Amino acid sequence: MKKARKSRNNLSSLGMSTQAIHAGEDRLRYADSITTPIVQTATYAFKDSKEIEAYTKHGKARFEYGRYGNPTEQVAEHRIAALEDAEDCVVFGSGMGAIVTSILALVRSGDHIVITDDAYKKTLEFCSSYLQRFGVDCTIVPFGDYDALDAAVKKRTRFIFSESPTNPYLNIFDLNRLRAIARKHKVLTLIDSTFSTPFNQRPLDFGVDLVMHSGTKYLGGHNDILAGAVLGRTELVGQVRALHKAIGGVIDPHCCYLLLRGLKTFSLRMAKHNESAMAVARFLEGHPCVKRVYYPGLESHPHHDTAVAQMKGFGGVVTFDIRGRLAEAKRFLDNLKLCFIAPSLGGVETLITHPALVSYYDCSRKERYALGITDTLLRLSVGVENAADIIADLDQALRSSQRPR
């Protein structure tokens, strides 16, 4: 119920790499351990009835039950909050758990929300379909059409939700314009910042109210956990935390340990992701077998100027459209030798996915194309292997894809 005290280890004046290793915990730890211990327990014992009353009646800071908090989890929350420069953070068992719980915590029957059409498919599905069961209306507006966004806000609108960068086209939301529209109408703003991470962009610095991350991706960084996080000012995060306790989408202590271990190399990994993705994007843009590349670091990207203005780096995801048809796209995937064909992103291994065959397999071709999901569109999550090796693998697979069998 009541959380243990926050860490006395104030590192706010130090660099992100230092915070990623040390933030969120005291210097002296259990058994003099350097590594954050895994407190693998579901419940916590009270010494006597006096301690129970100290906790329930007088607010003594301690843990009671695993659904309400865990010491390993608390360190993860404090560390991610430090990286995002947020007042508070609550972690979840998945990114979608974080998004759904946050949305439900902020709306009531009769409310209205606005979301952009380039949001993650499952987020759009939840907002446009499931929310209606609770009497909450949703308006979907074209990404980048700020006049339409402004016009979509109603008196009963609770918040505006979007992503930046988006999936899969890596569109960049102008956060200053978002803030201006939100302040004009006095509504909240929620941004899914999974693709950018706090290393490349911190939406809270632009006045966004809540930031969300799929910790499965870059925060964990090794394709071995599911996790989510919601960050912002204490008042709002507290509302999310209260519902989180009731719904129970908690993250387990061992998963928190792996998340913390991944965070220790977060800055190193992100710098490498940024560098290699830029090299891969420039290579693909000049390749004869590629029609178009979508990467905010390229001058050809429609939101390049916005990205330069509000991002430190451009992330590790590169989306591109190859020449040919579905057959060529399949042949390209089948010829890859280093890159893994797999969904998700943000890990040390380079992954590639084909949205038409994976995320939008249940849509007709006409429906997919209306959303911009063509037969030859591919999304590459550039890992931390040598960029030259990734490029060589892409090159041989691209050239092989254009040769008739």
Phi, psi of 116 (to 5 degrees): -85, 155
What is the overall mean pLDDT for the chain?
94
What does the pLDDT average to over 362-391? 90
157-163 vs 112-116, strand pairing mode? parallel
| Nearest alpha-carbon partner for 22 in 267, 264, 270 | 264
Q: Cα separation of 101 and 103, whole Å?
A: 6
What does the pLDDT average to over 357-370? 79
Q: Cα separation of 109 and 405, whole Å?
A: 58
Mind listing the pLDDT tens digit for each residue in 21-57? 999 988 888 888 999 999 999 999 999 999 999 999 9
Percentage of the residues of the chain whose pLDDT score is greater than 90: 88
Q: Cα separation of 141 and 116, whole Å?
A: 5
Count of positions (residues) in the chain? 405
Q: What is the pLDDT of residue 76?
A: 97
Query: Is the Cβ–Cβ distance between 126 and 103 less than 8 Å?
Result: yes
Q: What is the pLDDT of residue 7?
A: 41
User: String of b and e for 376-386 (b: at least 16 CB within 10 Å)?
Assistant: bbbbbbbbbbe
Mind listing the pLDDT tens digit for each residue in 224-261? 999 999 999 999 999 999 999 999 999 999 999 999 99
Percentage of the residues of the chain whose pLDDT score is greater than 70: 97
| Nearest alpha-carbon partner for 285 in 310, 267, 306, 304 | 304
Residue 280 pLDDT exceeds 60: yes
Q: Cα separation of 70 and 67, whole Å?
A: 8
Q: What is the pLDDT of residue 4?
A: 40
Q: Cα separation of 273 and 389, whole Å?
A: 14
Q: What is the pLDDT of residue 8?
A: 41
Q: What is the pLDDT of residue 10?
A: 66
Query: Is the Cβ–Cβ distance between 245 and 232 less than 8 Å?
Result: no
Query: Is the Cβ–Cβ distance between 124 and 115 less than 8 Å?
Result: yes
Mind listing the pLDDT tens digit for each residue in 100-129? 999 999 999 999 999 999 899 899 999 999
Q: What is the pLDDT of residue 1?
A: 44
**What is the 3-state secondary structure of the chain?**
CCCCCCCCCCCCCCCHHHHHHHCCCCCCCHHHCCCCCCCCCCECCCCCHHHHHHHHCCCCCCCCEHHHCCHHHHHHHHHHHHHHCCCEEEEECCHHHHHHHHHHHHCCCCCEEEEECCCCHHHHHHHHCHHHHHCCEEEEECCCCHHHHHHHCCCCEEEEEEECCCCCCCCCCCHHHHHHHHHHHCCEEEEECCCCHHHHCCHHHHCCCEEEEECCCCCCCCCCCCCEEEEECHHHHHHHHHHHHHHCCCCCHHHHHHHHHHHCCHHHHHHHHHHHHHHHHHHHHCCCCEEEEECCCCCCCCCHHHHHHHCCCCCCEEEEEECCCHHHHHHHHHHCCCCEECCCCCCCCCEEECCCCCCCCCCCHHHHHHCCCCCCEEEEECCCCCHHHHHHHHHHHHHHHCCCC
Q: What is the pLDDT of residue 405?
A: 53
pTM of this prediction?
A: 0.94
The two three-digit tokens of residue 331, written as one number: 């042949």
Q: Cα separation of 26 and 28, whole Å?
A: 5
Select the more confidently predicted residue: 403 or 180. 180
What domains sit in the chain, N to C, each tagged with a CATH number? 16-263 (3.40.640.10), 266-401 (3.90.1150.10)
User: 377: which strand partners?
Assistant: 321
Mind listing the pLDDT tens digit for each residue in 53-104? 999 999 999 999 999 999 999 999 999 999 999 999 999 999 999 999 999 9
Q: Cα separation of 373 and 126, whole Å?
A: 20
Query: Is the Cβ–Cβ distance between 92 and 250 less than 8 Å?
Result: yes
Q: What is the pLDDT of residue 404?
A: 60
Residue 3 pLDDT exceeds 50: no
- Residues labelled as active-site residues: 67, 120, 192, 217
Residue 400 pLDDT exceeds 90: yes
Q: What is the pLDDT of residue 366?
A: 79
Q: What is the pLDDT of residue 9?
A: 56
Q: What is the pLDDT of residue 6?
A: 43
What does the pLDDT average to over 151-172? 97
Residue 330 pLDDT exceeds 90: yes
